[in-house]
Amino acid sequence: MKNYEIVIIGAGPAGSMAAQAAAAAGKKTALIERNEKPSMPVRCGEGIGRKGLATTLEPQKQWIKSGITRARMISPSGIKVEIGNVDQSWILDRQTMDFDLVKQAVKAGADFFPSTTIVSAQKKTNGLYHCIGQDKEFTANCLILADGVESRIARCFGWDTALKLSDIETCAFARVTSPLIDQECCSFYTGGQVAPGGYAWIFPRGGAQANVGLGVIGSKCKAGLPKELLTRFIELRFPNSEVSHLHCGGVPVGRWIRPLVKEGVMLAGDAARQVNAINGAGIAYSLYAGKLAGETAAKALNKGTINHKILLKYQKQWAKNFGKQQDRSFALKEFIMNVGDGFLDRIANSLARENPEKISYLRVFTRTFATKPTLLLKAFKLFK
């Protein structure tokens, strides 16, 4: 039995940031990871905005594979909208970044347990949390669950984390090497033929390579469909290319889980469904939420007793800084799921005639709202 003040399950961006913050605040911290190393394999498109990353971390050169200056959206019927005015964005090297974040947590004083799967957890009568692994056991005063999309351990504490089929994007992706890849531009393809209820992405990562993948909404999926569609997508757009790193994964696109804290247990990252439901982006949010959860837990814990009032501040601050914004994305996603390909084509058609330099992501959204004013009302209601 190993005893800790704070135990964190899952060493993705959320877990590693939580561990670093908790250990840096002087708490006896354990970071537990099922795999030998995090991000093995990387299950991510690796796209992030500079702002999103810099909110929580000082970006490091070795984490950045390439910089993006333009984006292109391709509507279901093939209308191209060039977006010349994108915020500074990067394609990351998640493997390097995720390893570095674990190293930083260890440097701050956290104990790292790789190749260790937590099977279940429970609260004992002495008030301590007991985490049961396959060959190791841990106790903790406070638990941070950062076990990613599966979010299984939360179920031990009464959270219902099983996702509805309409709240999961099921994805297949690969690294494609081809001279046909535009290295400065991220492309997004929509439409029922390409990716029902989701989109396909091409994120260039330098050296004639790109992350190419697609997501299908669970409610329109069938066994193996994402892989089939991806194979077709790659053959069509990059014939005779070299394909490596073919993997799959799930992105939660429901609302973030409420409450985020129950007694001494906190949820962070994909485990808490802290993802932008419209585009499936989660890296920046999991970094932010993980760090905030770790810091808050450390503040709330004093000589083995938890100050619950302090612990609850985690949810408040999350809601204020990102949670409300994610609620709006969720409302928008629910709407888009119910419009046909024709609606996306109409928006694309009206934007395609404009000057790309004047088109930003914001513009795409405002145009969407302008086309369907009731949606704006819905989104506004969430501001309250």
What's the closest the beta carbon of residue 144 comes to other proteins, in angstroms? 18
157 backbone φψ class: left, alpha, beta (φ>0; ψ -120 to 50): alpha
274 CB-near residues (< 8 Å, 6+ apart): 14, 256, 268, 282, 285, 286, 289, 318, 322, 323, 326
Candidates 21, 278, 324, 16; CA nearest to 148 is: 16
What's the closest the beta carbon of residue 46 comes to ligand FAD, in angstroms? 5
With the CA atoms of 192, 41, 326 and 171 taken in that order, what torsion angle do they form, in degrees rounded to the nearest 10?
Answer: 10
With the CA atoms of 62, 70, 322 and 98 taken in that order, what torsion angle do they form, in degrees rounded to the nearest 10?
Answer: -20
116 CB-near residues (< 8 Å, 6+ apart): 32, 33, 34, 133, 134, 135, 136
13 CB-near residues (< 8 Å, 6+ apart): 97, 98, 101, 269, 283, 286, 287, 290
Q: What is the distance between the alpha carbons of residues 309 and 302, in angstroms, rounded to a whole number? A: 13
Among 22, 53, 128, 251, binds ligand FAD (CB under 6 A): 251
Closer CB to ligand FAD, 270 or 367, in the complex? 270
Query: Are 213 and 172 a contacting pair, CB within 8 Å?
Result: yes
DSSP category for residue 196? T
Among 15, 38, 47, 148, binds other proteins (CB under 8 A): 148
Does 280 engage in binding with other proteins (CB under 8 A)?
Answer: no
Among 196, 252, 282, 290, binds other proteins (CB under 8 A): 252
17 CB-near residues (< 8 Å, 6+ apart): 56, 101, 105, 286, 287, 288, 290, 291, 294
What's the closest the beta carbon of residue 81 comes to ligand FAD, in angstroms? 20
What's the closest the beta carbon of residue 167 comes to other proteins, in angstroms? 9
Q: What is the distance between the alpha carbons of residues 361 and 345, in angstroms, rounded to a whole number? A: 16
Residue with tokens 């004047």: 358
What's the closest the beta carbon of residue 14 comes to ligand FAD, in angstroms? 3
What's the closest the beta carbon of residue 113 comes to ligand FAD, in angstroms? 9
Does 225 engage in binding with other proteins (CB under 8 A)?
Answer: yes
Which of the listed partners (other proteins, ligand FAD, none) does 146 bind, with a CB threshold of 5 to 8 Å by partner kind? Answer: ligand FAD
Does 297 engage in binding with ligand FAD (CB under 6 A)?
Answer: no
Closer CB to other proteins, 232 or 308, in the complex? 232
Q: In angstroms, how far is CA 109 from the centroid of its own chain?
A: 26
Closer CB to ligand FAD, 136 or 372, in the complex? 136
Closer CB to other proteins, 251 or 311, in the complex? 251
Does 134 engage in binding with other proteins (CB under 8 A)?
Answer: yes
Q: In angstroms, how far is CA 123 from the centroid of its own chain?
A: 29
Does 249 engage in binding with other proteins (CB under 8 A)?
Answer: yes
Q: What is the distance between the alpha carbons of residues 208 and 195, in angstroms, rounded to a whole number? A: 24
Among 218, 282, 290, 294, binds other proteins (CB under 8 A): 218
Closer CB to ligand FAD, 150 or 345, in the complex? 150
Does 48 engage in binding with ligand FAD (CB under 6 A)?
Answer: yes
What's the closest the beta carbon of residue 29 comes to ligand FAD, in angstroms? 15
Q: Which residues bind other proteins (CB under 8 A)?
A: 34, 43, 117, 119, 134, 148-152, 155, 161-165, 168, 170-172, 216, 218, 221-227, 247-250, 252
Q: Which residues bind ligand FAD (CB under 6 A)?
A: 9-15, 32-35, 38, 43-48, 117-118, 146-150, 153, 171, 173, 213, 249-251, 269-271, 275, 280-284, 286
